[in-house]
Amino acid sequence: MAKKVTMQDVANRVGVSKVTVSKALRGNKDISEDMKERIRQAAAEFGYVFNTNGSALGDDLPRCIGIISTERFYGQGDSFYIELYRLVSNYVEKIHYTSMFHILDADNEKNQVLPRMVQDKKVDGIIILGQLSKEYVQKVVELNIPLVFLDFYYDKFNVDSVNTDNFFGAYEITNNLIEKGHNNLAFVGNLNLTSSIQDRFLGYYKSILEYKLPFRNSWIINDRTDDSIWLDISLPEEMPTAFVCNCDKTAMILIEKLKSSGYRIPEDYSVVGFDDSIHAMQSNPSISTVKVDLEEMARVSVKMISKKINNPDVQYGRVMIKSKLITRDSVKEI
């Protein structure tokens, strides 16, 4: 295990006392701006962290990352965010930080109630896992605590984010369907739900535009309400030959719906998903999909928030993690 960095290490690097380092990191007016900057730079180089409430973490206390998510992502059979949280937590441990996880219920998100860990200033940085309402995110941003969005973004906020390349992944899998002879393709997913679903739709739509294929509004099929309650998927009167689903769970539900209506998959209709979650393999037939690199998303998000804790001025922008096309049994060439 690497040697724990202390305030004395920073003081030795700059050639000042621990008291001067403490005052500088607290923003004390007794310390010149030039000296404050020298000390901040030295602290960043060492990886020494100073808590947002003014207490030093480098000497005794563990550094802590708060992870905030919302209950609507954790319904029965929804494993995507559970797995992503597990990986984030593992990477937090690897850098010798601690983490605190809070799942918001619908009322607390609606009423913008901050978790106790945030109110009591027990965390030094925050990862928001999955898209929360803009109003709630605004409340978190106003705290001026180092912050990273994971698996979503908002243009309104100047906050770094980590996402899979949803646009290109959907574009690639739609192109693959077209190359297999499918010229009539529907998209299944609620476009109002998350930025990820919107980007997946746009990737699908770009593919259709490039190949100059027909597009019908009736081929945008809803799978959930805006509150993420699953719906009984309604099949369009004029059926496409293939369905591009926003996630594997939707693809599995759609396959069961088609089978119960007397259709065969993939003989009658092809269906693809996104995520490469457990649903893709549980389905019969198994689902062709886009594999999201959850491991890399977790690693990058933890790296970003730890760097921002050390130096809040560090900016990464919107970071995209490459995805991979996975071919299975739910697609037929025509």
d(CA 301, CA 287): 28
Q: Are residues 101 and 52 in the same domain?
A: no
Q: Are residues 97 and 121 in the same domain?
A: yes
282 is a domain residue:
yes
d(CA 316, CA 313): 10
Specify the pLDDT at position 51.
54
d(CA 235, CA 261): 10
106 is a domain residue:
yes
| Domain total in the chain | 3
Q: Are residues 91 and 69 in the same domain?
A: yes
332 is a domain residue:
no
Q: Are residues 192 and 252 in the same domain?
A: yes
Q: Are residues 150 and 298 in the same domain?
A: yes
Q: Are residues 171 and 284 in the same domain?
A: yes
The CATH number given to whatever domain includes residue 288 is 3.40.50.2300
Q: Are residues 29 and 93 in the same domain?
A: no
The parent domain of residue 158 ranges over 64-163+294-321
261 is a domain residue:
yes
Q: Are residues 109 and 23 in the same domain?
A: no
Lowest mean pLDDT among 27-41, 75-89, 243-257, 304-318: 27-41
Q: Are residues 16 and 44 in the same domain?
A: yes
pLDDT tens digits for 57-101? 444 455 899 999 999 999 877 889 999 999 999 999 998 899 999
pTM for the whole structure: 0.80
> How large is the angle between the packed helices 33-46 and 18-26, nearest 10 degrees?
100
236 is a domain residue:
yes
209 is a domain residue:
yes
274 is a domain residue:
yes
217 is a domain residue:
yes
The CATH number given to whatever domain includes residue 46 is 1.10.260.40
Please, are residues 241 and 270 in contact by the beta-carbon 8 Å criterion?
yes
pLDDT tens digits for 147-204? 999 999 999 899 999 999 999 999 999 999 999 999 999 999 999 999 999 999 999 9
d(CA 289, CA 148): 27
